[in-house]
Amino acid sequence: MGQLDGKVAWVSGGSGGIGSATLRRFVKEGAAVVCSDINDEDGEKLVQELKSAGGRATYSHCDVSDPDQVKASIDGTVEEFGRIDILFNNAATSTGGYVADLDLDGWDKSLKIMLSAALYGMKAAIPYMLKQGGGSIVSTSSIYGLVSTAGNAPYSTAKAGLINLTRTTAIEYGRKGIRANCVCPGAVETPMLDSVVGLGLKSREAIGDMHALGRTIQADEVANLVLFLAGEESSGITGQAIPIDGGLLIGCDLTGVPPLQ
């Protein structure tokens, strides 16, 4: 038996990176899944892969910055599969710049896709979860929801807000059987890391060396944590923001003493 047998999961930003890794993991554990994204080609290709492996999967074109599209996608999930047990808010975007120079359209887009979209998903899914007697909400925050860096205000602000939205949701609905948690990845091998490396300020090797593990994180490793939080093995955990960062945040090197190689 799989950990998610009989469960139905909706995943935003599902066509690549953490989203696709998580969908594969969910299907392997017995869940029916909906891949929500605006990247239709990659999303449809992934769903065909999941179906070919024997999974129950469907693709839903959904711009998560539009609350009507999010509701329609989640309503469609329930219409097709009869329920929704897992909501994984994972869609993301990236823009930056110093605060006084920020493009306001980019700021608004970042908050809509990475913060407001999670609220839209919760508003659509929670009523179904209440009728069912429970559910699990997992959202992708970031280590930049816990700390920040120059030139990153839109992303960091959205991810920090997502953590407190998650905590509030956990408090409000915990007695109704609904849990809400965040994963907070560090540097994960996804296209977003490619864009960071593309800035030319730090190499991929230098970024990996900042981690206690001496390497960056794989999307499959994040998917394993999402699976844990989505399933019953984490039944006592709610309202948490859990770093999965290879030890990136645990150290502050003032001495220059090297770790063991």
For residue range 37-48, list pLDDT tens digits in order.
999 999 999 999
Which residues have C-beta within 8 Å of that of residue 108, sequence separation ≥ 6?
A: none
User: pTM of the predicted model, to two decimals?
Assistant: 0.94
User: Catalytic site residue 173?
Assistant: no
Distance CA 251, CA 261 (A): 16
Please report the domains of the chain, with CATH numbers, ordered by start residue.
8-186+219-239 (3.40.50.720)
Provide the CB-side half-sphere exposure for 222 (13 A, CA).
Answer: 32
- Provide the pLDDT for residue 135: 98
For residue range 210-224, list pLDDT tens digits in order.
899 999 999 999 999
For residue range 89-113, list pLDDT tens digits in order.
999 998 889 999 999 999 999 999 9
Contact indicator for 65, 117 with CB cutoff of 8 Å:
yes
- Provide the pLDDT for residue 175: 98
Give 158-163 contacts, CB < 8 A, sequence gap 24+. Answer: 158/110, 158/111, 158/113, 158/114, 158/115, 159/114, 159/184, 161/111, 161/115, 162/89, 162/114, 162/115, 162/118, 163/241
Catalytic residue, candidates 59, 120, 128, 155: 155
Q: Is the pLDDT of residue 254 over 80?
A: no
